[in-house]
Amino acid sequence: SKPRVAVVFGGRSSEHAVSCVTAGSVLRALDRDKYDVVPIGITTDGRWVLERDEPERLVIQAGRLPEVDEKGTAVVLANDDERGLVCLDPAAGPTALGRIDVVFPVLHGPFGEDGTLQGLLEMAGVRYVGAGVLASAVAMDKHYAKLILQANGFPVAPYTVITRRAWETDRAACQEAVDSLGYPVFVKPARGGSSIGITKVRQRADLPEAVEEARRYDPKVVVEAAVLNAREIECGVLESLDGGRPEASVVAEICYDTEYEFYDFQAKYLDDETHVDLRLPADLEPSVAQEVQDMAIRAFEALSVEGLARVDFFLREDGTLLLNEINTMPGFTPYSMFPRMWAASGLDYPSLVDRLVQLALRRPLGLR
Ligand code: ADP
Ligand code: MG
Ligand code: MG
């Protein structure tokens, strides 16, 4: 029988709607001759529900953002020795949904991209697309990601961490640590994405407000020295099907109008390409592009990422690279950077989706 793929989407993070749009694209792209598909939504308050298989509903229509339909049948996940993951419909009983062979977590941010869902699936003995527990958690946390990257010799921007306790009990020490970075700085929720909660701070006096803004999303805050006049460069990485070295995509550059302070939420999602220009491939010396691809693959391996990742860099005026971040579930609509980088590398969207499911199906269960 055909492998059954559960596409899990929505979720509790601030990126719920983005996730729904992506799920619509993934549902459309999955080859129904090859796979049985089970759409499962997670509502904004964390309930799991069986969704109708209607990708056409999961689009932005007349400015209205899609969300998970709460009225779907509630599902709970239970471990079943024989059949792996079973979705229990409390009304219909334990075999209502049957075996799931692969979960495709189309979720961004905390409780989805950060290892928590991955841990649940590991416990239940179910294969899933993308990075495992540790890699997901490390990549999501800008503090720990830097520690691991630095320990592996990758250049990162100077930074300091403001924990909840430090901010609440020793404000002066926090202020001093930030001052010593020099201004401007970028203030970020440690575990965030889509630029949500990030502020560029030009002077000391504006720090507290920016830290409070970041703390709306995460009690832990990372403050980074601004990398000035840098170009923003991105590279996609995919695990190889034969277990060999991961593969890097064509390298891309993001260019945006100088009216933007930085690549913020507005620039990422709300404005069109008259303001934001995704250059594919980036106009780079071949040796620089190759260095980006090589670093992207090495970073993927340093964090033991599986499946996919988008690795983001700053290219400074002197030609040196800094590694900004690794996203283990990057934006994934057909218009997003990651699929576009792969399309430009010869792998179209349906093939990319298929490759990720195939990688997950081949993965051994248990410790890898
Ligand atoms: P997210 O995970 O939300 O995408 P990033 O760390 O990538 O967070 O920051 C979002 C954007 O903010 C970057 O794409 C860049 O435009 C800007 N930015 C972040 N950190 C710096 C920095 N240290 N120097 C210059 N720009 C930065
Ligand atoms: Mg990110
Ligand atoms: Mg980013």
Instruction: Locate the ligand 1 atom nearest the alpha carbon of residue 322 and give its number.
Output: 23
Mean pLDDT of the 265-282 span: 77
Architecture per CATH, domain 4-128, reads as 3-Layer(aba) Sandwich (3.40)
Residue 206 has pLDDT above 80, yes or no: yes
Q: Report CA(144)–ligand 3 centroid distance (Å).
A: 16
Q: Mark the residues whose beta carbon lies below 5 A from ion ligand 2.
A: 193, 325, 327
- 3-class DSSP state of 176: helix
Q: Which residues contact 209 (CB under 8 A, 6 or more apart)?
A: 199
User: What is the spatial distance between Cα 141 and Cα 154, in angstroms, rounded to a whole number?
Assistant: 16
Instruction: Locate the ligand 1 atom nearest the alpha carbon of residue 193 and give its number.
Output: 3
Ligand 1, residues at Cβ distance < 6 Å: 157, 186, 188, 192-195, 198, 224, 226-227, 232, 262-263, 312, 324-325
First to last CA, the chain: 27
Range list for CATH 3.40.50.20 in the chain: 4-128
Ligand 1 site-directed mutation target among 114, 138, 235, 263, most atoms within 8 Å of CB = 263
Is 3.30.470.20 the CATH classification of the domain at 138-155+228-346? yes
Q: Report CA(34)–ligand 2 centroid distance (Å).
A: 32
Question: In DSSP terms, which residues pair with 233 in a beta bridge?
Answer: 253, 313
Per the CB < 8 A criterion, the answer to whether 157 and 314 are in contact is yes
Range list for CATH 3.30.470.20 in the chain: 138-155+228-346
Ligand 1 site-directed mutation target among 178, 195, 321, most atoms within 8 Å of CB = 195
Instruction: Locate the ligand 1 atom nearest the alpha carbon of residue 195 and give its number.
Output: 3
Q: Report CA(190)–ligand 2 centroid distance (Å).
A: 10
User: What is the spatial distance between Cα 312 and Cα 157, in angstroms, rounded to a whole number?
Assistant: 13
Show the tokens assigned to 99.
């075996």
Ligand 1 site-directed mutation target among 15, 136, 198, 338, most atoms within 8 Å of CB = 198
Q: What pLDDT is stored for residue 88 in this prediction?
A: 59
Ligand 1 site-directed mutation target among 257, 321, 322, 324, most atoms within 8 Å of CB = 324
State CA 317 to chain mean position distance: 28
Q: Report CA(141)–ligand 1 centroid distance (Å).
A: 14
Residue 368 binned pLDDT confidence (cut-offs 50, 70, 90): confident
Q: Report CA(65)–ligand 3 centroid distance (Å).
A: 22
Q: Which residues contact 216 (CB under 8 A, 6 or more apart)?
A: 189, 197
User: What is the spatial distance between Cα 143 and Cα 146, in angstroms, rounded to a whole number?
Assistant: 5
Kindly provide the b/e burial profile for residues 322-332, where b requires at least 16 CB atoms within 10 angstroms of the residue's own CB.
Answer: bbbbbbbbbbb
**Residue holding tokens 């069986």?**
50
Q: What pLDDT is stored for residue 26 in this prediction?
A: 97
Range list for CATH 3.30.1490.20 in the chain: 159-225
Q: What pLDDT is stored for residue 271 in this prediction?
A: 62
Helix then strand then coil, % of the chain, to nearest 5 = 30, 25, 45
Q: Lowest mean pLDDT: which of 12-21, 313-322, 343-352?
A: 12-21
Q: Report CA(119)–ligand 3 centroid distance (Å).
A: 24
Mean pLDDT of the 2-15 span: 90
Q: Which residues contact 219 (CB under 8 A, 6 or more apart)?
A: 163, 164
Residue 82 binned pLDDT confidence (cut-offs 50, 70, 90): low
Show the tokens assigned to 307.
């499946």
Residue 118 has pLDDT above 70, yes or no: yes
Q: Which residues contact 309 (CB under 8 A, 6 or more apart)?
A: 131, 139, 236, 237, 296, 299, 300, 326, 327, 328, 330
Residue 70 binned pLDDT confidence (cut-offs 50, 70, 90): confident
Span 36-60, pLDDT tens digits: 999 999 999 888 888 888 888 888 8
Q: Which residues contact 4 (CB under 8 A, 6 or more apart)?
A: 35, 36, 37, 38, 98, 99, 100, 101, 102
Instruction: Locate the ligand 1 atom nearest the alpha carbon of residue 312 and give its number.
Output: 7
Q: Lowest mean pLDDT: which of 76-85, 227-236, 269-278?
A: 76-85
Mean pLDDT of the 143-151 span: 98
List the CATH code of the domain at 159-225: 3.30.1490.20
The C-alpha angle 142, 189, 132, rounded to 5 degrees, equals 45
Looking at all shown ligands, the one closest to residue 189's CA atom is 1
Q: What pLDDT is stored for residue 13 in this prediction?
A: 81
Span 174-201, pLDDT tens digits: 999 999 999 999 999 999 888 889 999 9
Q: Lowest mean pLDDT: which of 89-103, 138-152, 184-198, 266-280?
A: 89-103
Residue predicted with more confidence, 64 or 360: 360
Residue 86 has pLDDT above 70, yes or no: no
Residue 31 has pLDDT above 60, yes or no: yes
Provide ipTM, 2 decimals.
0.99
A 10 A CB-CB count for 47 gives: 16
Could you tell me the pTM of the whole model? 0.94
Mean per-residue pLDDT over the chain, rounded: 91
Mean pLDDT of the 61-68 span: 82
Mean pLDDT of the 88-110 span: 76
Residue 257 has pLDDT above 60, yes or no: yes
Show the tokens assigned to 182.
């020099």
Q: What pLDDT is stored for residue 272 in this prediction?
A: 62
Instruction: Locate the ligand 1 atom nearest the alpha carbon of residue 194 and give its number.
Output: 3
Mean pLDDT of the 210-216 span: 97
Q: Report CA(98)–ligand 2 centroid distance (Å).
A: 35
Show the tokens assigned to 183.
């201004």
Span 152-176, pLDDT tens digits: 999 999 999 999 999 999 999 999 9
Alpha-carbon distances, residue 169 vs 60, 69, 173, 180, 216 (angstroms): 44, 43, 9, 20, 18
Residue 79 has pLDDT above 70, yes or no: no
Q: Which residues contact 175 (CB under 8 A, 6 or more apart)?
A: 204, 207
Mean pLDDT of the 309-323 span: 97
